[in-house]
Amino acid sequence: MEIQRYAAFSTSPSGGNPAGVVLDATGVDGAEMLRVAAEVGYSETAFLLPRGDDHFDIRYFSPLAEVPFCGHATIATAAAYAQRHGTGRMHLDTRAGRVDVTTAAAPDGTTTATLISVAPRTDPIDATDLAELLAALRWDPADLDPTLPPRVAYAGARHPVIAAATRQRLADLDYDLPTLAALMARHDWTTVDLVWRESTEVFHARNPFPPGGVFEDPATGAAAAAFGGYLRELGLVTVPAMVTVYQGADLGRPSVLTVGIPADPTSGIAVTGTAVPLPGPLPS
């Protein structure tokens, strides 16, 4: 199979979150997809299964396991497909549900993609689980921003949202990987969405991803979609809203995610970003 590499949520190969992309994985089973994802080594590789008329099945694999939905690999896949077949609309059936994506070409030659997530929801986080999570992160309750309460947010995958009171607290990421991985596996959490609010509509994020064998994701579209739902459900933004999430700067891979939050409480969240090809061959 042909494996492409793209960096999502960046206009430069040196930024964003790398993803493997297979535009036609017809006939490839899950075991082989997992093997390829492990060999590629990125946080996720996406496998597209064309069904005709711009409809596709899509599966996402980290190096360790299949995940129900991955935002940055969706943006990367849409950009790769657009550069080969032209911009337009794609209808993706993920394990989490239907995700529609539109692509457009920018004047500088980069490709921009916008995905619409499944309907989001936000759930409380148990006090005991929160205490375990903070201990694994090596955070104190005093480190939290009380205006952004801890919740578990979903828009295709489950992410605890934990807000730091200061940018310095967000910058100092040194968590207990085995303990956090065990806690996340127990609750089916995909990443932990650590955020800091710079202003009403500007946020910074970091996302530990131990279930995928990755210490930190430089750009997490699924978490951004879930966060958009969190902001809407808790009334933390005036909807409709457009929010910017900066991620990856602490890793040296700066990423920009634009989150569109419609007023309709049942609607999906829009996540927009650019994606660019990465140089170099990959195994096939």
Can you read off the two tokens belonging to residue 35?
A: 């093997």
Q: Please name the helix (run of DSSP H) or strand (run of DSSP E) that holds residue 210, with its range, or none.
A: none
User: Apex CA 225: angle with CA 154 and CA 178, to 5°?
Assistant: 60
Query: Which pLDDT band, with edges at 50, 70 and 90, does 283 fall under?
Result: very low
Helices 177-187 and 127-137 cross at an angle (nearest 10°) of 150
3-state SS, residue 152: strand
Residue 205 has pLDDT above 90, yes or no: yes
pLDDT in tens, 122-165: 999 999 999 999 999 999 999 999 999 999 999 999 999 999 99
Taking residues 76-102, what's their average pLDDT? Answer: 97
Helix, strand, coil in percent for the chain, rounding step 5: 25, 35, 35
Residue 107 has pLDDT above 90, yes or no: no
Residue with more model confidence, 212 or 20: 20
pTM of the model: 0.96
Q: How far apart are the first and last CA of the chain?
A: 6
Can you read off the two tokens belonging to residue 71?
A: 């935002």
- Structural contact between residues 273 and 8, judged by C-beta atoms closer than 8 angstroms: yes
pLDDT in tens, 22-48: 999 999 999 999 999 999 999 999 999
Predicted pLDDT at 284: 43
Query: Which pLDDT band, with edges at 50, 70 and 90, does 214 fall under?
Result: confident
Please give the Cα distance from 179 to 56 (Å, whole number). Answer: 37
Please give the Cα distance from 201 to 209 (Å, whole number). Answer: 25
Taking residues 79-92, what's their average pLDDT? Answer: 97
3-state SS, residue 252: coil
3-state SS, residue 54: coil
Please give the Cα distance from 158 to 223 (Å, whole number). Answer: 8
- Structural contact between residues 81 and 90, judged by C-beta atoms closer than 8 angstroms: yes
Which residues are registered as beta bridge partners of 57? 49, 93
Predicted pLDDT at 281: 54
User: CA of 159: how far to CAs of 14, 66, 193, in Å?
Assistant: 26, 16, 6
Q: Where would I find the beta strands (DSSP E) of 68-191?
A: 89-94, 97-105, 111-116, 121-123, 151-154, 158-163
